[in-house]
Amino acid sequence: MPPPTTVAEDDYRRLRDLVAAGGVTVLTGAGVSTASGIPDYRGPDGNRRVQPMQYAEFLASAEARRRYWARSYVGWAHFRAARPNDAHRAIAALQHGGQVESLITQNVDGLHQEAGSREVIELHGNLNVIVCLRCEERFDRAEVHRWIADANPGFTAQSDEIRPDGDIVLAAQDFTEFRLVRCVTCGSDLLKPDVVFFGGSVAKPLVEQAYAAVEAGDGLLVLGSSLQVMSGLRFVKRAHALGIPVAVVTRWATRGDEWATLRIDALLDDVLPRLVADCTQDAQG
């Protein structure tokens, strides 16, 4: 467990005042789910620790899809065992308490909803849903997992290194015997988790929905995101351009720090539970 971080009291009071006033839009990144056992992609220097599957690579060949699905099949057992942590629960409490109006997440794990958050804008999709890229039929992930298990009864592999997209590392693993499953509607093997792979893009209507949430808010609170990709950074820039205060709470530097009104370098567990307690007390007082 990481050592606790210290937050300057002046900074904490500014954060509390912003959130307690209500109408806040929250944007979350992978750092919110690390305490649930799902690591993020980047280290303190902002560089990726792992290379994720690229969308073009996934489309290019059955071999790439076989490699991805073999790893993802093994990783799913670890991923689906993850449970919401104190950060997820705190955000849900602030939403139900009226301090948080809208919640936008870059995460694909569904843990915000499991913690009780409602109407979550999932920028990058959700791993619990599988889509056929040919006919656009959608399937529950658990159902597709059963298809894969039936098609590969002898396939076994072990790895403790899970990634934020449910993929894992299987060093020197031979995937040549791994069998892809096909869409039961059209027969295509182009089945993919309904998430945005690196090199893909977020659907424009979803981006516009998120922009509208940011623009309607009285503040933008970024939690657990390095803001290294434009997918999240654009909302910080939009809030800044409109004069909406931006608070960023996460470990290490972020790409959006120059547009932040308030920057707190801290673990979320050292900030959010206290914030919930104080906002609840203020609301009752």
Q: Domain boundaries in the chain?
A: 7-38+84-124+201-285, 49-81+125-195
| pLDDT higher at 49 or 206 | 206
Report the interhelical angle of 272-284 vs 86-96 (nearest 10°).
20
Confidence of residue 285 (pLDDT cuts 50, 70, 90): low
Q: How far apart are CA 232 and CA 224, in angstroms?
A: 11
| Cβ pair 219, 24 in contact under 8 A | yes
Tell me if residue 240 is catalytic: no
pLDDT of residue 14: 98
| pLDDT higher at 165 or 74 | 74
pLDDT of residue 253: 94
Which CATH number is 49-81+125-195's, of 3.30.460, 2.60.40, 3.15.10, 3.30.1600? 3.30.1600
Answer yes or no: is pLDDT of 49 > 60: no
Answer yes or no: is pLDDT of 155 > 90: no
Phi (first) and psi of residue 54, to 5 degrees = -90, 145
Binding-site residues sit at 106-109, 132, 135, 183, 186, 224-226, 268
The string of pLDDT tens digits covering residues 189-211 is 999 999 999 889 999 999 999 99
Q: What is the pTM of this model?
A: 0.92
Q: From the candidates 96, 124, 145, 240, which is the catalytic residue?
A: 124
| Residue 181 tokens, joined | 């499953």
The string of pLDDT tens digits covering residues 160-194 is 666 666 666 665 566 778 899 999 999 999 999 99
Supply the DSSP symbol for 2.
Answer: P
Decide if domain 7-38+84-124+201-285 falls under CATH 3.40.50.1220: yes
Confidence of residue 45 (pLDDT cuts 50, 70, 90): very low
The string of pLDDT tens digits covering residues 105-123 is 999 999 999 999 999 999 9
Q: Mean per-residue pLDDT for 33-50?
A: 67
Q: How far apart are CA 30 and CA 106, in angstroms?
A: 7
Confidence of residue 52 (pLDDT cuts 50, 70, 90): confident
Contacts of 127 (CB under 8 A, 6+ apart): 76, 79, 108, 109, 110, 141, 165, 166, 193, 194, 195
* Mean pLDDT taken over the chain: 91
DSSP 47-71: -BSS-PPBHHHHHH-HHHHHHHHHH
Calculate the alpha carbon distances from 264 to 220, 233, 251 in Å.
14, 17, 8
* Residue 166 zone, left/alpha/beta (φ > 0; ψ -120 to 50; rest): left
Return the half-sphere exposure (C-beta side, CA atoms, 13 A cut-off) of residue 48: 9
Binding-site residues for NAD(+) sit at 106-109, 224-226, 268
According to the per-residue pLDDT averaged within each range, which of 42-51, 69-78, 249-258 is highest?
249-258
Binding-site residues for Zn(2+) sit at 132, 135, 183, 186
